[in-house]
Structure 1
Amino acid sequence: MAVGRVRKPHGVHGELLVEILTDFPQRLAVGVSVGVGQAEPEQFFTVKSVRLHKGAWLLKLSECTRREQADSFREQYLFLPEQEREALPANYYYEHELAGLRCLLLDGREAGTVQRLEAGPAGAWLVVLQGEREVLVPFVSPIVVRVDLEQGCVLLDPPEGLLFGDAL
């Protein structure tokens, strides 16, 4: 389960500034093993220290002692062991599960690829890459018709011209 995204190094001793992506940040504690990677854990580290700083975490991982090393983690996700899929509420998805999914319109046209999920003041947004352009798609049921993890796609029904304009 992705619980955070590394934004940048903090200081010169390998500390990381991490965006919180979970409703339960207390699960990330000293001594916990975390995976670091893009779509799934690629390397594992032990949390040496964690503290809250301006709505984000400042995290120190084992064996990360230099700013240069911390910089290599930029935009990587932090993973905790995943819960059983059946235990999750319906229509709940981990952010890392959505990243990389193809976006299709109801008529079958490709509409881009999900890059990430962003939280906004009124709800979540899918950040969809269309060529070189990013488009924000509200993650609400009339627009996001279905998420199909097995097929690797999100079916969208956006209002006419509102989100995609002349890009398609």
Structure 2
Amino acid sequence: MDTPPDTVVVGRIGRPHGVRGEATVEVRTDDPDDRFVPGAVLLTDPAARGPLTVAGARWHREVLLLAFEGYHSREDVETLRDTLLEVPVADLPELEDPESFYDHQLVGLAARLADGAPLGTVTAVRHEGAELLVVSRDGGRELLVPFVAAIVPTVDLAGGFVVVDPPEGLLDL
């Protein structure tokens, strides 16, 4: 398994909103109201942008809008489009539930069937109403696996694998 990352992505800056320097943000964290508070300092990828300090945050319908210190116009914010917002892994709070995991802990784990047969590698976690593990299989095919205990009964971070016990037909999709 690869070395764990030093940072984890919590959002991606999208298009500007309005003319006063707000940007839409694609949220990639479970706790956006805690993560994106005014004064929060977020690392960026590409890192050449340097850290960004949140100057304001508000929800517009279902979309998070952020303003950053030093970015006051639509044109300023446009230069940030597609920048990933990151936080150091060390800054993440410990999860209280032993059955809960951060996405970065799951990415890179080997996926195997209950009988030990290799299935592929977890390459991403998607949050689309339900959590889905994206498992890359031989030949470049991707398999979406619902991340529920009935289908993924074992997550062994120390061992570097997850066990997938798929219902009939899941592997044929």
Q: Could you tell me the TM-score, scaled by structure 1's length?
A: 0.71
Structure (1/2) with the larger helix percentage: 2
CA distance in 1, matches of 2:9, 2:157: 19
Query: Where does the alignment leave 5 or more consecutive residues of structure 1 unmatched?
Result: none
Secondary structure in structure 2 of the residue aligned to 1:164: helix
Compute the RMSD of aligned alpha carbons: 3.2
Any conservation in 1 of the 2:55–2:68 contact (CA below 8 Å)? yes
CA distance in 1, matches of 2:107, 2:8: 11
Any conservation in 2 of the 1:30–1:47 contact (CA below 8 Å)? yes
Percent identical across equivalent pairs? Answer: 30
Match of 2:56 among 16, 29, 49: 49
Name the residue aligned to 1:163. 170
Query: Where does the alignment leave 5 or more consecutive residues of structure 2 unmatched?
Result: 1-6
Name the residue aligned to 1:10. 16
CA distance in 1, matches of 2:100, 2:122: 16
What does residue range 1-168 of structure 1 map to in structure 2 within 5 Å? Answer: 4-6=10-12, 8-10=14-16, 15-19=23-27, 21-23=29-31, 25-36=33-44, 44-62=51-69, 65-71=76-82, 73=83, 76=84, 78-79=86-87, 81-84=91-94, 88-121=96-129, 123-130=130-137, 131-160=139-168, 162-165=169-172
Any conservation in 2 of the 1:14–1:68 contact (CA below 8 Å)? no
Secondary structure in structure 2 of the residue aligned to 1:89: coil
Any conservation in 2 of the 1:3–1:25 contact (CA below 8 Å)? no
Any conservation in 1 of the 2:13–2:23 contact (CA below 8 Å)? no
